[in-house]
Structures are given as C-alpha cells and as structure tokens.
Amino acid sequence: MIFGDPDVVDIVFTCGADVLAVGIYVTHQVVLTDSDRETLASSNGTFAQYLLKILEVYFNYHHDGYSTKGVYLHDPTAMLAAINPSLITYVEGAVRVQTNGITRGLTLLYNKQKRFTEITEWSNQPSVKVAFTVDVPAVLKLVMERLMK
C-alpha cells in the first residue's frame, strides 16, 4: 500500500490522527501454512471452503516467489491488531515516508521514546503507533476458528 501511493500515506502519518501501522515485517511473521490449509480443507466451514478456492493463486505465488510453505496473512493480521490491540506490541514515534527516488515507499521511524532532549525537525511531528511484535499463535488461532465455523 505504501509503495502504491507514498504521498498519501505520508500525509496520513503526519496528520495527527490516531494511527496504528502494522508493517510487512510484522505481517510476514504470520503464515497460514500448508498444514493449516489441509485443516481448512477438511473442515465444513463455509468461509474455509470459499477461501481455499480463491486463494489457490496466492498459495502458488508464495510457493514460487518466496519458497514458503504457506501464505502471509497481511490483511487479517492488521485487522485483528485493530480489533484486539493486545495481540501486538508497538512503539510510538514520528513516521515519514520517502516519496521519490530509489527509496520511494520506504518508511522512517523517529522513535521518540529513545530520544533525550535533542530538538530536530522530527520533534514536533505527531506520533504514530507502529506494530513491533505480534502474537502469532493467537492470530492464527483466531483466523482458523473464524474460517472453520
């Protein structure tokens, strides 16, 4: 999402809204494995059966492109972090997005919690919550339970 429109995301991060950013380095920790896929296939869950049909391409893409034995759960992880913030830990700080050049889409975090009294051009920027860790087993359990019902 950030690479697609870094200018807009930079505006969101600097507008002062209550933002929780769940980045790809966090969502890459949450993988619906091939074993999970088999569990879903053997369930009677309507959502599970539907998901398996539409995600065949996604599973193949991850197998071929990333050599993973599963798929990353980017959107479900971000959604569950918003619904139940106890599933993640986060740091707070100013976040800016590089909007041009070879680093277009790169996000930079000025961790205000780690600074002393220095005053910089980042000091007066609003803070954003940035996910740092995720409770992977809890997220996977919630996703599997919802899909199999």
What is the number of alpha carbons within 13 Å of residue 133 lying toward its C-beta? Answer: 5
Looking at residues 8-24, what average pLDDT do you find? Answer: 95
Share of the chain above pLDDT 90, in %: 63
| Residue 120 vs residue 60, higher pLDDT | 60
Query: What pLDDT, in 10s, does the model give residues 32-74?
Result: 998 998 998 899 888 888 888 888 888 899 889 888 889 999 9
Looking at residues 4-29, what average pLDDT do you find? Answer: 94
What is the number of alpha carbons within 13 Å of residue 56 lying toward its C-beta? Answer: 5
What length does the chain have? Answer: 149
Total-model pTM: 0.84
Helix (H, G, I), strand (E, B) or coil at 56: helix
Indicate which residues carry an active-site annotation: 74
Contact 26, 132 (CB under 8 A): yes
Query: What pLDDT, in 10s, does the model give residues 17-28?
Result: 999 999 999 999
- Distances, alpha carbon 63 to alpha carbons 41, 55, 60, 93, 116, in Å: 18, 12, 5, 35, 45
| Residue 79 in tokens | 């959604």
